[in-house]
Amino acid sequence: MSVNPTVESFLKDVTDHKLTILRDDGLYRHVRLSRPDSNVMRFDLVTWPGYLAYAGDMGDFVFSRLADMFEFFRSRPGTLDVNHSYWAEKIQATDKGSGHTRFDVDRFCSVVNEYRLGWIREAARNGKLTKTERRELWNAVDDDVLSKACDGEYPALNAANEFYFQTQRAAGRHDLSYQFDDFLEHDFASCTFRFLWCCYAIAWGIQQYDAAKEKTIST
């Protein structure tokens, strides 16, 4: 699993980027940030009333929220205030290659384990399952569900949805069963690496634009 970009790693990626203002007409803007003579991690920001389009080497996205979208994405000076999840809600068009969300394997495994630990602890506390039965239940979750976590969203969710464990009790003792009730009500989506990177790029790109404008005014 890839490590998500951080402010530090992003700033390292754009160390050599330079700003080019291609259009600057009120809310109609087109700015480009790129390394000289290279398209690697190059990106363009284009605005018109109510919209901002991000296009570049790391993806393509269109957002809508305020008339001036630079105002919406603008960070406090000296920071990169990026609210990835909130910004994702403002997407009108997402990258056709990888979109802006992915199936979060870590989140999936965490929720599965929350269910499993709850079952085991309750069974131990109330004496519902023997130690051997608790071990069998624990291993069944490993074998039937967690083993599918890295196979993709559909196989993983299907494995959890179809999971059914039943104890085999002696005569006179009721069998007990376990399954992941309401499992699909959980959200297993998280932002992609590329979208996270692009969010930093938008905030940083606007800072470069603001700095250039301020420099022009002061000269």
Q: How confident is the model at residue 39 (pLDDT cuts 50, 70, 90)?
A: confident
Given a cut of 80, whether residue 29 has pLDDT beyond it is yes
Same domain, 138 and 196: no
Same domain, 167 and 213: no
State the CB neighbour count (10 A cutoff) for residue 64: 15
**1 part of a folded domain:** no
d(C-alpha 45, C-alpha 55), whole Å:
7
d(C-alpha 160, C-alpha 108), whole Å:
10
Same domain, 168 and 212: no
**114 part of a folded domain:** yes
**93 part of a folded domain:** yes
Given a cut of 70, whether residue 170 has pLDDT beyond it is no
User: Which pLDDT score is estimated for 78?
Assistant: 83
d(C-alpha 68, C-alpha 81), whole Å:
17
Mean pLDDT, rounded, for 123-129: 88
* DSSP, residue by residue, 114-167: HHHHHHHHHHHHHT-S-HHHHHHHHHHHHHHTGGGGGG-HHHHHHHHHH--EE-
**2 part of a folded domain:** no
d(C-alpha 169, C-alpha 216), whole Å:
81
Given a cut of 80, whether residue 171 has pLDDT beyond it is no
3-state secondary structure of 168: coil
Domain that holds residue 211: 7-100+192-218
Same domain, 163 and 186: yes
β-partners of residue 183 are: none
Same domain, 46 and 65: yes
User: Which pLDDT score is estimated for 219?
Assistant: 65
The encoded tokens of residue 75 equal 């960070």
Same domain, 32 and 115: no
Q: What mean pLDDT is reported for the chain?
A: 91
**204 part of a folded domain:** yes
Same domain, 122 and 148: yes
3-state secondary structure of 53: strand
124-127, long-range: CB < 8 A, 24+ apart? none
Measured in degrees and rounded to the nearest 5, phi and psi for residue 39 equal -100, 5
- Which one-letter DSSP state was computed for residue 89? T
**85 part of a folded domain:** yes
- Which one-letter DSSP state was computed for residue 81? -
Mean pLDDT, rounded, for 64-90: 93
Mean pLDDT, rounded, for 127-136: 90
Same domain, 50 and 108: no
**57 part of a folded domain:** yes
Same domain, 27 and 79: yes
Same domain, 200 and 170: no
Same domain, 34 and 116: no
Q: How many domains does the chain have?
A: 2
For residue 200, give the H/E element and its range.
helix 193-218
Same domain, 96 and 196: yes
